[in-house]
Amino acid sequence: MSEQTRNFSLCGHSGAGKTALSEAMLFNMGVVNRLGRIDDGTTTSDYDSAEIERQISLKVSLLNGQWQDHHLNIIDTPGYADFISEAKAALRVSDAMVTVVDSVTGIEIGTERTWNFAADYNLPRVLFINKMDRADADADQVLEMLQERFGRQVVPLQMAVNPGEGFNQIVDLVAMRAYAYQDGKATEGDIPDEVQSRAEELREQLVESIAETDEELMEKYFSEGELTTEDIVAGLRQAVLGREIFPVFFGDAYNNVGIDRLLDALVQYGPSPVEAAGLRFQDGEEQEVELEGTATAPLAALVFKTLAEQHVGELSLLRLFSGAIKPGDEVANSSKRTAERIGQIYHLNGNKRTEVASAEAGDIVALVKLKNTHTTDTLCAKGASLQLPGIAFPEPLIRVAIHAKEQGGEDRVSTGIAQLHEEDPSFIMKYDGEVRQTILLTQGELHLETIVSRLKGRFGVEIEMEVPRIPYRETIRGNADAQYRHKKQSGGRGQFGEVFIRIAPKGRGEGFKFLNEVVGGNIPSNFIPAVEKGVVETLSEGPVAGYQVIDVAVTVYDGKHHPVDSDEVSFKLAGSHAFKDAFIKAKPVLLEPIYQLEITVPEEFMGDVMGDLSSRRGRISGMDADGHFQVIHAEAPLAEIDRYATLLRSMTQGKGFHAQRFDRYEEVPGDIMAKVIENSQKNKGKEAA
């Protein structure tokens, strides 16, 4: 039953302990009989050889188990910045998020980003302050940081009794009972005298916070001075679902302290799939749609991840928002407008599969051997056309040019990359005809490394990388006239065509315009299109440095023809040469792509980052404070921000990140323009050789 299911993702910064928490949850649910360790490469979640080697999660891992007669679907997500898109995909199909926070470092950039993703999806959020056994753990300071950043809705439901080395005691502020842990097992008891008054103070704050979210509870609290436990539990659940309270829990996942209490809370206060935020959305025509999260409703399911597993093939990870499926069912892929037949259905725990007879609303399962269904596709009832909102992945930040190491290997590279892209749409590969290179765009350096490694490991293809060329543009600042006569006589019929043209600059973004002002038939009208064709073909490889020409107006106003020797080829060549001559005389300039940057860094790195931006011809347009972070709004030329994500991470000790997007083209300064032209001529010489 959907009401007995809970779907949540574990998110947060890299190293906060998400995978250790997922392992402790599985242990408590009896899915595993011993706690796997990241150092030993024995966790259920991080089973990939690259994850074991690097000791970090590189992709989402789907886990499940039973707790208090409820089925829990848990998605462990990577915290490393290069793989943040995996967390975004996981949150798209989750009903709540557990934000895992380190007890010493508190809020980090990964905490912020995933919190914002969850807010975009309107998800209830729970905070778990982990690693409370660290010698320098500071529960109060981290709690204060969370409240300062995420608001007064951040309310502790527990109190850590003895933070630091040997941490093993928690007070439940709802039940007002203490829990002491020994080897992961809790013993319930009275609250120790030395923390009784502090616990009462925190409970009063909790009750007030709950009462503030409901008028009836507020009136009862004011008139009676207290709320019953039943009132607190019911009010708290509604406040969590309404995102009016973000409850905080404390624990130590590595030593399995407090994990059972967190699981209890997720069952008690977390949303069921019937209450999921994902059931309500706007369709392509901005009409409000509300799905019914039940098995009897029409099918609506979203593929949020595609995995390639040895001996199995492709696994499609699927969240059913409504309806049900079983093997043999025919369904529609409304994203691709194709039909699919459902094969085997599995529950996953890492790479361990358990076949199930069917799946229904609220389930998160893996399907095998779907013909043409990939990440972000919607499956719906046969004959229906419903499309669920997809997943908007962050813009890639690293840009490299690639080619096959072996001659003739380009097709295998394309095939391999295409298959990897179906599994991971957060990177892009495209052939850029302007710079004549195949460009691979990824979320970061490690993301790039994993793609290259998978290409080699799975497809036996090696690639070489180089710095991608910049797609400069050429244009003019002045007006000019030019005349060119094309004449060729080599026995028999010759070639002849003469044109007079003038060129003028157009406004940025106005494009190319061709005008015919020839009068008196000096160029017969049937040859005018040939003149235009000659000019247009030259636009793709400009006269200055071989880059695309933009924003010019060309007018042909006179010419000469020969009644026998003139033909289309003659006028095409004359038009091309006349254009080149005029262009060089019309104060030509190079334009370069300018990117908008939004750089988020802790305040202590502001000076370094701003100084570095200035050295990259960057311009800062503004700054905003965002909690403990500063957001710098800037712009810089693409030529100066090659692999900027890597540089920023190095400058900020991994605590900064940025987003970038193309904005416009702008003139290249004269000294840099001279270097670009010189390099272009050298490259032409190499290609000719």
| 131 neighbors 102 (Cβ within 8 angstroms) | yes
Q: Using one digit for the tens of pLDDT, what is the confidence trace for 441-470?
A: 999 999 999 999 989 988 888 999 999 999
- Domain 590-671, CATH number (from 3.30.70.1710, 3.30.70.20, 3.30.70.240, 3.50.50.60): 3.30.70.240
What is the CATH code for 2-188+245-278? 3.40.50.300
Share of the chain above pLDDT 70, in %: 98
Strand pairing category for 70-76 and 5-11? parallel
| 603 neighbors 664 (Cβ within 8 angstroms) | no
Please report the pLDDT score of residue 314 as a whole number. Answer: 85
Beta bridge partners of 391: none
- Report for 301-310, 497-506, 679-688: range of highest mean pLDDT: 497-506
Question: Which distant-in-sequence residues (6+ apart) come within 8 Å of 116 by Cβ?
Answer: none
Domain coordinates of the chain in residue numbers? 2-188+245-278, 293-381, 398-466, 474-586, 590-671
- Domain 398-466, CATH number (from 3.30.70.870, 3.40.1280.10, 3.30.9.10, 2.140.10.10): 3.30.70.870
Please report the pLDDT score of residue 687 as a whole number. Answer: 59
Strand pairing category for 246-250 and 154-156? parallel
Q: What is the mean pLDDT of residues 212-240?
A: 89
What is the CATH code for 474-586? 3.30.230.10
Beta bridge partners of 171: 159, 178
CATH topology (fold) of 293-381:
Elongation Factor Tu (Ef-tu); domain 3 (2.40.30)
Q: What is the DSSP letter of 265?
A: H
Tokens of 234: 């019911």
Question: Where do we find the tokens 């624990």?
Answer: 251
Same fold across 2-188+245-278 and 398-466: no
Please report the pLDDT score of residue 216 as a whole number. Answer: 87
Q: Using one digit for the tens of pLDDT, what is the confidence trace for 50-91?
A: 888 888 898 999 999 999 999 999 999 999 989 999 999 999
Tell me how far apart the alpha carbons of residues 554 and 43 are, in angstroms, rounded to a whole number: 67
Question: Which distant-in-sequence residues (6+ apart) come within 8 Å of 147 by Cβ?
Answer: 154
Please report the pLDDT score of residue 685 as a whole number. Answer: 61
Please report the pLDDT score of residue 90 as a whole number. Answer: 97
Q: What is the DSSP letter of 4?
A: G
Please report the pLDDT score of residue 228 as a whole number. Answer: 87
- Confidence bin at 203 (pLDDT 50/70/90): very high
Q: Using one digit for the tens of pLDDT, what is the confidence trace for 412-430?
A: 899 899 889 988 999 999 9
Q: Using one digit for the tens of pLDDT, what is the confidence trace for 500-558?
A: 999 999 999 899 999 999 988 899 999 999 999 999 999 999 999 999 999 999 999 99
Q: What is the mean pLDDT of residues 216-235?
A: 88
Nearest alpha carbon to residue 296 among 274, 281, 275, 327 = 274
| 620 neighbors 607 (Cβ within 8 angstroms) | no
Q: What is the mean pLDDT of residues 167-177?
A: 96
Please report the pLDDT score of residue 625 as a whole number. Answer: 87
Please say if the pLDDT value at position 494 is more than 70. yes
Q: What is the mean pLDDT of residues 271-300?
A: 88
